[in-house]
Amino acid sequence: MVYEINYKDKCLLMDMASQFCSVYLKIKKLRIMNRTEMLSLINGKFNGEEANEILLNLFSTKIHFHELKNFSSRERFGKDDETAQRRIPELKKGREKVKQMVAEAKAKDKHLVITSVINISLEDE
């Protein structure tokens, strides 16, 4: 079946199609800009030594990162980096919890199941 469309309706349909395409492209652009990637960093069952090595290295690396960031801020601006000052004690506390859990696992002859997912997304400043 074929329908005849008058000029006015044809223009209206074309305008609606154009608006739809514009909205679709904006949504697509937002999805790209606000896309989040989930990456598996750690996923497995580890004995005490393996868990100790993996987790303490991870915590030590993050602590070192924030210590350098804080040092740089003091050298360049004469003041501490607020984020580093907050994160260093949190990370040290986390490192101590890891040591306790590893010691408990060793004492009870247990393995540690560790999973860690990193979410990465783009964000405007």
Residue 93 within any structural domain of the chain: yes
Domain count, the chain: 1
Per residue in 38-51, pLDDT tens? 899 999 999 999 99
Instruction: Give the pLDDT confidence score for residue 110 in this predicted structure.
Output: 97
Per residue in 101-125, pLDDT tens? 999 999 999 999 999 999 888 877 7
DSSP-assigned letters across all residues of 47-100? -HHHHHHHHHHHHHHHHHHHHHHHHHHHHHHSS--HHHHHHHHHHHHHHHHHHH
Say what the pTM is: 0.69
- Residue 56: other Cβ atoms inside 10 A: 14
Query: Distance between CA 91 and CA 84 in Å, rounded?
Result: 10
Residue 70 within any structural domain of the chain: yes
In this prediction, residue 95 has a pLDDT band, given cuts at 50, 70 and 90, of very high
In the chain, what is the straight-line distance between the N-terminal and C-terminal CA atoms, in Å? 54
Residue 39 within any structural domain of the chain: no
